Chain A
Amino acid sequence: MSGEARVFHLRTPISDEDVEKLRVGDIIYITGIMVTARDEAHKKILEVLERGEKLPIDLRGLVLYHCGPVVRKRPDGTWEVVAAGPTTSMRMESVEAEFIAKTGVKVIVGKGGMGRRTAEAMKKYKAVYAVFTGGAGALAANRIKRVVDVYWLEELGIPEAVWVFEVEEFGPLVVTIDSHGNNYYEKHMEEVRKRAEEIKKELLSKIEH
């Protein structure tokens, strides 16, 4: 990506209009509610909806975060988020399109990018995927103001449970899938693969026999 990035500050609930303004390469900061879900929580949430039951939290307009945090309980019983960077999003590719369609989340935050099915669902249901710097768990925790709630903690354990975070200026998040059908990583990695062929030829010419 080149040129100065556009910067947006979004507040939940996020509207379709907010989402439609965004393009790959834009940088966003989020204030409001982010809800975590990894592999097991995706399965759990989709099962609840499949049975026609209500989720403990209405996800419409909210931000889904692929994250398994480090947390600890304070003496007063409230939770402290110690570190909370993103996990690899691609693991959720097989269920994310259905998740977007059924929950109405507007922004998905993770790392490493997602695939074609998710990108198609984002175009259809108006949502974006944005990357938070992988590994930056302390920075992320610093932007989480409090834990509003946690669901299925006993059943799923700390990393897999659904954590509801109130966040302030959570970012920088780089949009890599927008609601117009663009998928930044797909294009970028295609360019990298092309360059790789040239680079390999050059390297092989250096081998000493």
Chain B
Amino acid sequence: MALSRETLEKAFYDFILRVSTGMPEDIYLAIKRAYETEENPVAKTQLEAILKDMNIACSETRPICQDTGTPYLWVEIGEDFPLKPLVIEEAFKSALRKATKEGYLRPNAVDPLYAKNSGDNTGRFIPWVHYEPVPGDKLTVRLLFKGGGSEAPSTLIMSTPLKGFENLYTGVIDTIVRYGPLPCPPLIVGVAIGAGADIVMSLAKKALLRPIGQRHPDPKAAKIEEELLEAINKLGVGPHGFGGKYTALDVKFEYAHRHPATFAIGIVTGCWATRRGTIQFESDGSYRILSKHLVPEGGACVIR
């Protein structure tokens, strides 16, 4: 297989379908564990419906949620990878258009000034793409389809440094309480500290990509994740606001160095249907979807 724009486009199309219809392994297993251990009967019916939904989406190749989200890409492009960023982006856009036209994605890109839906999920700055040059000759693309409902709680707090951690803890709890059932809990909560508004919002969103259960390598950061997760789950908002033990599946914390005078805090939530995945291309055009998803195989759904 030679590397070309067409090779990328075809691979991206398969990747888009995989991410939109196949739950990531970690979230699927976390929901399954929650279902098995939840004692509140109504919360349990919600977790059961979610598991059924994941299985139907997988076996019938349907989107997991009808809000197929806004596409966010994090692109790690090897300095020696033969194709240029614009070619990669155009290939991804063509794949998005195809998947939308075939009814696998809902057209979600709306021009705010002219109130017009582009009809194909591409538009001004959409997909939203972050590029990171890395050594080597590989291309790694991480995709997040971010639902609209779970964007509502996004919160920025420009704290004074002295009150930083106090505002971090109370800000996260207040945000989860304020939005209750709206962002479709159980959630993944991304939290970040840094120098400026854009830095923390961006880091908090990227933190949603880290797998459930994986702790931040820094022990202090890991402790913040654990404390916040425990506190959020004590609130008892529960799946879709029906109480019980699971308001969040995990909390992901990230930080950048801050300015001496600033302590920006970013809070972002991902719904239970946080659809994300990773694909990697070699310079010869071969590729692999690195993330594991729930996929159909021989009449059943397996993780692969």
Contacts and interface: CB of A to CB of B under 8 A. Distances in A.
Interface of A: 1-5, 25, 27, 67-72, 80, 82-85, 87-88, 90, 111-113, 131, 133-142, 157-159, 172, 174, 185, 188-189, 191-193, 195-196, 199-200, 202-204, 206-207
Contacts of A133: 46, 49-50, 53, 239-240
B169 A207 contact: yes
Contacts of B271: 134-135
A207 B165 contact: yes
Contact of A70 (B56, B68, B235): B68
Interface in B232-288: 234-237, 239-243, 271-273
9 contacts: A85-B53, A111-B184, A112-B180, A112-B182, A133-B49, A139-B56, A142-B56, A195-B234, A199-B231
A140 B114 CA distance: 32
Interface residues of B, number: 57
A1 B285 CA distance: 53
Interface residue SS majority, chain A: mixed
The 7 closest A-B pairs by CB, nearest first: A72-B103, A137-B66, A136-B53, A138-B57, A83-B66, A139-B53, A133-B49
A203 B173 contact: yes
B146 to A, nearest CB: 13
Interface string B165-196: 11001100110010011101000000000000
A90 B180 CA distance: 12
A192 B106 contact: no
B153 interface: no
Interface in B14-64: 40-43, 45-46, 49-50, 52-54, 56-57, 60, 62-64
Nearest to B49: A133
A138 B42 contact: no
Given A85-B65, A133-B50, A1 B42 contact: yes
Contacts of B236: 191-192, 195
B41 A138 contact: no
Contacts of A136: 49-50, 52-53, 65
Contact of B42 (A112, A134, A158, A174): A174
B42 A25 contact: yes
B169 A113 contact: no
B184 A134 contact: yes
B149 to A, nearest CB: 6
A70 B53 contact: no
Contacts of A5: 41-42, 45
Nearest to B177: A196
A191 B170 CA distance: 17
Contacts of A68: 66-67, 106
A174 to B, nearest CB: 6
B177 A193 contact: yes
- Residue of A85, A131, A202 with most chain B CB atoms under a 10 A cut-off: A85
Contact of A137 (B64, B152, B239): B64
Given A112-B149, A138-B65, 5 more contacts: A67-B66, A138-B63, A188-B243, A192-B237, A204-B169
A195 B237 CA distance: 10
A53 B180 CA distance: 39
A177 B149 CA distance: 21
A192 B177 contact: yes
B63 to A, nearest CB: 4
B270 to A, nearest CB: 11
Given A82-B62, A199-B234, A199-B235, A72 B170 contact: no
A135 B186 CA distance: 11
B117 interface: yes
B180 A189 contact: yes
Contacts of A111: 149, 181-182, 184, 240
A105 to B, nearest CB: 21
B299 to A, nearest CB: 16
Contacts of A204: 166, 169-170
